[in-house]
Structure 1
């Protein structure tokens, strides 16, 4: 492909920062969807910064720490909300529960904590300063005018991200220890997200070939997300079961639901990586 097309990295970064900034007022209103959108914009931004390090301006350490703080805080709010909705859905099944009131109260507390954190983040001057600092460092510098690189160089960077994903997948496949496997699958989830978003950022440079990497990555991301959510929910339920007022049979039933969901996701995941693996960027994108 040589120099055919230039990666619009500056435009991609600008779009994510604008999207993040635009969501902050809604985050301040504790809108769960806004929290998700803001978190997603940050994930995409950080994926690009990680994958193309050295090819684009570098965030100063202070700005990098602030971006990390905002990403972590948004993640805490979003994770609490997702967990609450997941447990609520289980409680709303037709199964008869012995004492669901205590569990529902815990779910309501999760939702409330998610909303409180979101409201504090969205209205915090620190959040707005973080976006401004990132914009100044990444876009308002002389080198930001270019962000142009040969497609072969971009593909090599993507190849490195793909190889990290393969390492995580191999680690989970080679272990019989559930904790090791869950940790490796969680890392694989992060790796596949980074690869997906990094490819999406430069998709125009590779025309339709980019979809050959993006589509299977999306499928793996969905399955790994379900597996991780089931693991987190199971851990939360086990901790909740220690509290007074929580019926042991109710807790066991909830945990069994999450075990079934986890096993189902893992089985679908094994089928997906066997039938539709994410191809190596060096092979899929360079011709």
Structure 2
């Protein structure tokens, strides 16, 4: 059942309900993830764990939290699950988007790399399975479940949620627009990958931090969330392509442009397409007026 709080809900009751719904989804995904018949449950598990981490960060000043349930611990858990998902994404991109466009010689040349990805994926999934069955992971979920049943909050937690939406939403912005990723001149520069990836993570945190308010019908953020998702997807495509090119060099010890010219051209074309889309979408976020409108929206000064 979807979490729909009352209009006069307190901060503590709200975060209790939001975390309960999030935890329910995480637990329900466990068996399908371990069955490993479809990559989607793992993707959804990572999304829900990241949403849980964002909730924990966003409401950190409002709850008296169990020691086992900290944002760094959740982040570490997400990173342990991340390799399997990243390998799934790389394999899907190669097999569905790139491989059908290659000449037979390059299909043969890239076969050892595809086999290597499969081996790495098996090893990564074995570690993932161990993590999801570990006492550390199960204890974290158990402690959160116990907190949800009997939540403990600070004095601020008894305040009405709507009175504190400016702070709970405004903190998500921080120095977002000062990050260097906004000013990267060219995605092909080697130094651009790290700063664009940092920006992508911050946009994702902002999106997750606003999405639970939207889904619970506390604030209407539909159009804003769609914009954030589009920006995040562009940067995600760019990051995947950087990772794929680096994995080729490492695994096959070759220069993709020389050994796999058509494949390399396809990677360049995909990067250029994602970059042009990023420039188009990000332009509207960089003017002073657009930034001020976003600040006003998150500080609940306007409904625009």
Q: TM-score, normalised by structure 2?
A: 0.78
Indicate which of 99, 110, 123 corresponds to 2:120.
110
Q: 1 or 2 for the larger relative contact order (CA 8 Å, sep ≥6)?
A: 1
Instruction: Determine the structure 2 residue equivalent to 1:216.
Output: 227
2:238–2:274 contact (8 Å) kept in structure 1: yes
Instruction: Determine the structure 2 residue equivalent to 1:161.
Output: 172
Q: Matches of 1:39 and 1:77 in 2, distance apart?
A: 11
Q: Matches of 2:234 and 2:186 in 1, distance apart?
A: 20
Indicate which of 247, 253, 264 corresponds to 1:236.
247
Q: Matches of 2:264 and 2:123 in 1, distance apart?
A: 23
Instruction: Determine the structure 1 residue equivalent to 2:144.
Output: 134
Structure 2, gaps ≥5 residues long: 1-5
2:87 aligned with 1:80: yes
Instruction: Determine the structure 2 residue equivalent to 1:280.
Output: 294
Indicate which of 28, 50, 54 corresponds to 1:43.
50
* Superposition pairs of residues 1-287 of structure 1, within 5 angstroms: 5-6=8-9, 8-31=14-37, 32-60=39-67, 62-64=68-70, 66-90=73-97, 92-98=99-105, 99-137=109-147, 140-143=150-153, 149-168=160-179, 170-173=180-183, 178-203=189-214, 204=216, 206-208=218-220, 210-242=221-253, 249-275=258-284, 279-283=293-297, 285-287=300-302
2:186–2:192 contact (8 Å) kept in structure 1: yes
Structure 1, gaps ≥5 residues long: none
Aligned length: 280
| Per-residue deviation, 1:270 | 1.2
Aligned CA distance change for structure 1 residues 193 and 87 (closer, same or farther; 3 Å): same
Aligned CA distance change for structure 1 residues 179 and 148 (closer, same or farther; 3 Å): farther
C-alpha RMSD of the superposition: 3.1
Q: TM-score, normalised by structure 1?
A: 0.82
2:257–2:264 contact (8 Å) kept in structure 1: no
Aligned CA distance change for structure 1 residues 112 and 90 (closer, same or farther; 3 Å): farther
| Per-residue deviation, 1:199 | 0.9
Q: Matches of 1:45 and 1:148 in 2, distance apart?
A: 22
| Per-residue deviation, 1:136 | 2.9
